[in-house]
Structure 1
Amino acid sequence: MKQIGDSNEDMLALLEAVVGIKNELLYIREYFHPLLKGEIYLSGEQVCEMLHISKRTLQQYRDDGLIPFIKLERKILFRESDIIKVLEDNHTRINKTLP
């Protein structure tokens, strides 16, 4: 009976599998967030990426009360639905009539 590790090819295949699993887990951790009562909560960094703004601008929006947030101890979270609502409430349509 052949055991794993009897050859270099076996060890390389095993190592590749482990690295592949690690990369998949990192991807899942980065892009998939568990729901809490149907809500997705985002970090400040994720909101900045979503809105294409700086951390300082996000801080100003928070200070001005433009974007709702949740503070747990020292962690600030934003509900994705709140961000979408703010965007929808502030959406302006430009009605131009062509001559």
Structure 2
Amino acid sequence: MKTHKPLFDGERYLTSEELCSILKISRRTLQDYRSNGILPFIQLPGKVLFRESDIKNVLEERLRPAYNSSL
């Protein structure tokens, strides 16, 4: 129950801490991604949230196929 997060309009939102943990990046790297417009975010007073579907879209758009040495 500790990890359960209610959905807002069918969407899940992640905190900076959660996203850093998922992506295995530092908070500073996450800040750079935000500042450079790489990751969209929602700014609330004292809180930054990331829409899970936005993060998935960014990751899919930037996906590069693995190098295939057999070609």
TM-score (norm 2): 0.91
Which position in structure 2 is the counterpart of 1:54?
Answer: 26
Q: CA deviation at 1:74?
A: 1.8
- Mind listing any 5+ residue stretches in structure 1 that lack a counterpart? 1-27
Q: Which has the higher strand share?
A: 2
Computing the radius of gyration from Cα coordinates, the structure with the larger value is: 1
Aligned length: 71
Q: Which has the higher helix share?
A: 1
List 4+ stretches of structure 1 deviating above 4 A.
Answer: none
Structure 2 counterparts to residues 15-54 of structure 1, below 5 A: 28-29=1-2, 31-54=3-26
TM-score (norm 1): 0.67
Q: CA deviation at 1:97?
A: 5.2
Which position in structure 2 is the counterpart of 1:68?
Answer: 40
Q: CA deviation at 1:96?
A: 2.2
What amino acid sits opposite 1:93 in the alignment?
Answer: P
1:83 has 2:55 as partner: yes
**Greater mean alpha carbon deviation, residues 88-97 or residues 62-71:** 88-97
- Mind listing any 5+ residue stretches in structure 2 that lack a counterpart? none
What amino acid sits opposite 1:63 in the alignment?
Answer: S
